Structure 1
Amino acid sequence: MNVQTISLQQVAAQQVEVALNKQPCVIRVCQRDSDIYVDLYVNGEAVVLGALARDRVGLTRHSYLPFKGELLFVDTHGREDPRYTGFGERWQLLYLN
């Protein structure tokens, strides 16, 4: 299994453009209240909208989605759900393929 870390800034709302396994992706991450939500677009098409981010829970869990692989947040210091203030340090957004 290949693992790729997706770089995120420590800001409450952001958009990242990245190629994941040759799939052109746009990932939007935002914090609303105390939760992080993720939108994923592949080839300009919405694949996942408003997915609630939880520690070690896949964001693209359904095999019928037009996306190869899995995105998930991992708490490197425990088992808490992600907060933008710890992006890149405590919480990593990973792509697994």
Structure 2
Amino acid sequence: MSSVTVPLSATASQTLNVVLSQQLVRLDVYQRSTGLFMDVWQNSTRVVAGAICQNLNPVIHADYLGLGGDFVFVDTQGAEDPTYDGLGDRFVLTFTAAS
């Protein structure tokens, strides 16, 4: 399996377009009072909406959705769930392609 780090900024709401596993993926990452959430789009089709972002917990959880891998947030300084103010520094988002 190969992992790629997805570059995020320390902002409360952001949209990012990246090419992963040879497909265009759009990520909408946003902070709410109850945590950090993410929407995932594949070629203009929403794959996941309102997924909670937690430390070391896969975001997609479903191979049948066809993304060809999954996203995981990693706390590089402990075991906390991510918050927007640590994105790109303390909290790193990775995409691991399915084998």
What residue identity is the alignment partner of 1:52?
A: I
Distance 1:10 1:73 in 2: 14
Deviations 1:42-64 (A, max 9, x none): 01000000000000000111121
Distance 1:31 1:5 in 2: 20
Q: If the length of structure 1 is used for normalisation, what is the TM-score?
A: 0.97
User: What runs of 5+ residues in structure 2 fail to find an aligned partner?
Assistant: none
Q: Residue in 1 aligned with 2:57? A: 57
The number of residue pairs the alignment matches comes to 97
Distance 2:41 2:52 in 1: 16
Q: If the length of structure 2 is used for normalisation, what is the TM-score?
A: 0.95
Distance 2:61 2:82 in 1: 18
Distance 1:46 1:24 in 2: 12
Q: Residue in 2 aligned with 1:86? A: 86
Q: Residue in 1 aligned with 2:26? A: 26
Q: Which runs of 4+ in 1 moved over 6 A?
A: none
Distance 1:81 1:34 in 2: 11
